[in-house]
Chains A and B, each alone.
Chain A
Amino acid sequence: MSLVADEIIRFTSVLKIAYNFLAGRNYLKRKKFREKKKLIAVALPFSDLAFVAGGIPVFPIRMQIFEISRYLAYLGSASSLFGWKNVSNFLGFARNLGIAEISKLIDDIIEDVIETINNKYNEMYDLGVESGVSSDFCYGLKSLEGMHVSKGKNVDACLNVTIRCSAYNKYLESLQLINERPKQIWLDIPPRNIGNSLELLRGNISNTIKELEDLTGNTVSDNNLRDHFKLGNEIKRSYKTIIYDISASDFYPCNPATFSEIMSLLNITFQDYNSNAMRYRDNMVSLVNEMQERIRKRIGMDVREKPRIFVTPMFGGWEPKSHEIIYELGGRALYADWEMVKLLEEIPISNHLDPVEGYAQFLSNATETGIGCDNDKLTDSYVRMAKNLNADGLVFFQLFGCHSVSNCYTMLREKIRRELEIPITAITFNKIGENVEQVKTRLGAFMEMFK
């Protein structure tokens, strides 16, 4: 029996988020061809300005056709007839009938969702390598290249936000060589907050908005900015509630493996809000309500005896089986990457403050004190996050070919041991599913420390 499928179907909002992610292609086609909207490729959670300008931000993997589209079509049709809540109830009911074939079919559908996303990532990775990206780069970068090689020509623009990773910035430069048609719109974030650099960043944001306005033909007002930031802040608030109030608590609304699966889905979908910020906000708010409701009714699992294992980083690629393995070994995996790098901080939106300045403050803060302009700062972020989650241990995914984040492990290990006195281990990662046995062995040895 699937650990995850058993419970994931109880969360209507999760089904919706998964559906919106996987059925993105049809949604995007509709927006592009019927509504004549501009598709804007984004990666990492930097979609705000694309939304504000009336474009449709898209994390490029969502333009792909996913193999489970048949099931999704059924789910989508059923939801438009009966509503998502009833679909969710029905799936739960059908699964509880005790008819093995039906249970297995539902398990397979849900498992397929997860497998499908992972397989698609690997497919993009292979495509990236085939297109000439050296295999020496990290999983995330190769996958992103693959996404653009495959479907990048369908977007109207790429919103390129520079970060501290030089390979990532060069990948952004390479996009114009992969597909000539999309407009390349840049947003440079100064590496440090010194002097009047915030003012310069403000200028850069204004220039980016101008270019997006030219692309979409819309005019962006301060109120547009405030409205979207408000929406984004609500999403972040819900996300944070899930991270702090639920994932770090003693009672879960489902088993920890399911919970981690939901968190990994949020990690992926947060990058472009599944191309619809309002819908995503509604789903996030519902998700929090659903989780809290189950906890209130004591439906779920008492996890106080299960050590909290902060598993990170995942945005450049990580082994998705790890949370299931950790659960089987008696622990629970906590994911909180975006919060760790301060991309879940709210954007200041008071009426007295220029919203562009507010966004500049948000980006500068994430760059300087979240992601950090060096490993000292970055490791401080990991330590802070582990502390805030009250983590009992930390599993660090050391990506082959990552020269930015993975390189901080030695420093991080020292800090974690010195400042938090909790165990930490590194697991090397190259590609999803490639070394699951090795991951099991490493995690097995690591989890022994908590017995």
Chain B
Amino acid sequence: MNDSGFLTDFSLFLKQKKQEGIKVIAFLAHDNIPEELIDAVGFFPLRIMFGGNDDLMTASHDYLPPSTCAFAQTCIGLFSIKPNEYDFLDFVDYFIVSNHCVSDICASEVISKYNNIPRLNFYVSYTKNENSLKYFKLELQDFKEQLEKVSEKIISDEILLRSIKKYNNFKKILSELYDLEMLGSKKLKIIQKALLMGPDYSDELEKEIEKIKTSPPLKSQDLKNILLTGCSIFINDELIDLIENGGGNIVFFDTWIGNHYNSQIIEESVINNSKNPLDLLVYRFKNNLYGDHSVSNYLQNKISLIEEFYRNYQEKTGQKLGVINHIIKFCDHMSLMSSFLKDKLQEKGIQVLNLERDYSRANRGQLSTRVEAFLEMI
């Protein structure tokens, strides 16, 4: 999916933010970063959520070995090479080092250190229990203090609550998109744009959704339905084109850029009854069941979600659904669990393709063949 035009627009959007004196805080796009705190202090949270290519991956090898996750390699490559369409990366004022996975730590640290971008820290426990929720709150408090220090502003509860509501509403709007019947690539483009621009995109997003509702786009009936799980499809990644050209259509994105983000909507009653807005962020973390960072129930939750969606989808549409588990090469979380996921889902009669790949051009032919063969089987 060529997103050059969108990236140019985004560059202008960010430039305007900078001209308004808004600082940009970048992070590898995982789902536990409290973007509401960044918004509350008046900064712009920039998700690094861009797909790679050979040049970007190679550029990272000065810092990390080639056996590093291809997405992490790409993120480093983007800051090393700064291709024209990514010139907005020059606007980054701070970079968050976080431990979604260890490659997140290493890549973020490299980007911060070798590009002289001051770092902020935000770490998350691996398990999810009462104490890890308390620890999450400590990290939130610490992160808040880091932001207050660099901004020389105080984040009041009122302002933070306003940001939480803003993002919560944004997620609600975005969630309407998920139920709409349309081509997966079009849907993904909107989700990607939304996640990159954040609530600033809300009005446009509502219009887009309304437009789709009033005149639903035509979708070929011949396409095979796919649930995408595993790693996200990032901006400027052609994987979705490859799937559609092979005769598939992604109807559900069980990924960071997709359902994980939207599954974190906080109920109004919880918001209204909360005394401390940080507790709302803890609550959200607690209910983020599908994020791949946590152990020890990650796989179990994922299987339940996929199975439920699969059964409902079949019941609703009477159509078959295949699962593509997208594994970015050397991804700790997806790769290690991939054979278990496949076995467990296949035991339940769900067809799964473990599609492992990096961003090199040389792989595309092989990927197409694998996707086509899988789609024929459905």
Contacts and interface: CB of A to CB of B under 8 A. Distances in A.
B99 interface: yes
A174 B332 contact: no
Contacts of B142: 194-195
Nearest to B344: A177
Interface stretch (B117-125, B186-194, B310-318): B117-125
Contacts of A171: 336
Contact of B63 (A170, A204, A410): A410
Interface residues of A, number: 52
Contacts of B109: 374-376, 411
A68 to B, nearest CB: 33
B64 A162 contact: no
8 contacts: A134-B336, A165-B332, A173-B337, A174-B340, A192-B123, A374-B106, A374-B109, A407-B65
Contacts of A176: 296
A51 B123 CA distance: 31
A173 B128 CA distance: 13
Nearest to B354: A134
Given A172-B295, A177-B340, A190 B106 contact: no
Interface stretch (A114-122, A328-336, A397-405): A397-405
B139 interface: yes
A169 interface: yes
A400 B101 contact: no
Contact of B332 (A166, A172, A177, A201): A166
A369 to B, nearest CB: 15
Contacts of B293: 166
Nearest to B327: A134
Given A169-B295, A374-B97, 5 more contacts: A188-B132, A190-B132, A374-B109, A404-B106, A409-B65
A429 to B, nearest CB: 11
A173 B330 contact: no
Contacts of A195: 138, 141-142
A173 B125 contact: no
B350 interface: no
A188 B125 contact: yes
B65 A192 contact: no
Nearest to B136: A190
Given A375-B105, A375-B106, A401 B330 contact: yes
Contacts of B67: 136, 400-403, 406
A22 to B, nearest CB: 30
A26 B139 CA distance: 47
Given A167-B102, A404-B102, A410 B64 contact: yes
B126 interface: yes
Interface residues of B, number: 52
Interface string B283-299: 00000000001011011
Interface string B107-140: 0011001000000010111110111101100110
A169 B128 CA distance: 13
A410 B123 contact: no
Contact of A403 (B63, B106, B123, B132): B106
A200 B121 contact: no
Interface in A162-211: 162, 164-167, 169-174, 176-177, 184, 186, 188, 190-192, 194-197, 200-201, 203-204, 207
A137 interface: yes
10 A-B pairs with the lowest CB-CB distances in the bound complex, closest first? A132-B339, A166-B101, A191-B123, A167-B332, A195-B138, A188-B127, A173-B295, A162-B126, A407-B106, A166-B332
A374 B125 CA distance: 14
B62 interface: yes
Contacts of B113: 376, 411
A186 B296 contact: yes
A373 B296 CA distance: 20
A74 B106 CA distance: 50
Given A191-B99, A191-B123, A170 B336 contact: yes
Contacts of B100: 166
B333 interface: yes
A164 B105 contact: yes
A243 interface: no
B106 A133 contact: no
Nearest to A399: B67
Contacts of B299: 173-174, 177
A373 B109 CA distance: 11
B102 A136 contact: no
